[in-house]
Amino acid sequence: MGTVTTPWKPLLLNALESNSHIKHSSFFQLATIGSNGRPSNRTVVFRGFQENSDKFQINTDGRSHKIEELKHCPFAEICWYFTDSWEQFRISGRIDVIDGSNPDTLKLQQREKSWFASSVKSRLQYLGPIPGFPCISEHPNQEIALDPSTGPVGAFCLLVLDPDQVDYLNLKSNQRLKFISTLGLNGLKSWTSERINP
């Protein structure tokens, strides 16, 4: 076991690079725990790492079920499988929900940056009907228009997952590694890695 700085990140960046020709390589599954204690899972889009960190960014609708679930229990796990390189990453950690009411100015700036990094088509979905509710209209998004220069709408939420454990499996090389983080007295995160049986 050796202590290193974010040792799993180069593995993930390499997997993203070698699978970049596949459109679905930027999608992963995000599992949360419902208020009823049952697991809840869905596919989301990777929106990049937060600047100079190992934190994952995910855009979501603040009206979706996952927000209530994360307020009930902030822990979540990503499962990301790269079909071309046969690599799986299971990444667990705590999620910070950043909506428009967040008191932290820096976090609000991150939310706004993530909003403008999204396509206008993607932004339009936050003006549509409430996700998970019964459909009332046959054409729900027909009348919606959005000024591209307008900042984030109320329903837009930025989720930031701060990983504390990464389980990496490479099915081609039959190699599995487990990475676990600890917080030092200085508040800095350090990682240990260990080879485990596939």
Check residue 139 and give its pLDDT: 65
Asked whether residue 136 is domain-assigned, the answer is: no
Residue 1 pLDDT > 50: no
Asked whether residue 137 is domain-assigned, the answer is: no
- The pTM for the full model equals 0.92
Weakest-pLDDT range from 11-20, 131-140, 152-161 = 131-140
Check residue 107 and give its pLDDT: 97
DSSP state of 197: -
- Closest CA relative to residue 77, chosen from 5, 161, 179, 137: 161
Check residue 164 and give its pLDDT: 97
Weakest-pLDDT range from 8-12, 118-122, 178-182 = 118-122
Asked whether residue 140 is domain-assigned, the answer is: no
DSSP string, 29-61: EEEEE-TTS-EEEEEEE---BPTTSS-EEEEEE
State what percent of residues in the chain have pLDDT above 70: 95
Using the Cα atoms of residue 138, residue 139, residue 143 and residue 148 in order, give the sign of their dihedral.
Answer: positive
Average pLDDT of the residues in 104-118? 97
Separation between Cα atoms, residue 43 and residue 50, nearest integer Å: 20
Tokens encoding 125: 């979905």
- Closest CA relative to residue 106, chosen from 96, 95, 117: 96
Tokens encoding 100: 């428009």
Asked whether residue 145 is domain-assigned, the answer is: no
Average pLDDT of the residues in 146-170? 95
Asked whether residue 66 is domain-assigned, the answer is: yes
Check residue 124 and give its pLDDT: 92
Q: How many domains does the chain have?
A: 1
Q: Which domain holds residue 119?
A: 2-129+150-196
* 3 confidence band (pLDDT: 50, 70, 90): very low
Tokens encoding 23: 């459109």
Tell me if 93 sits within 8 A of 163, measured CB to CB: yes
Average pLDDT of the residues in 94-121? 96
CATH of the domain at 57: 2.30.110.10
Tokens encoding 65: 């079920």
Cα-to-chain-centroid distance, residue 139: 29
Looking up tokens 């899972």 gives 41
Average confidence score pLDDT of the chain:
93
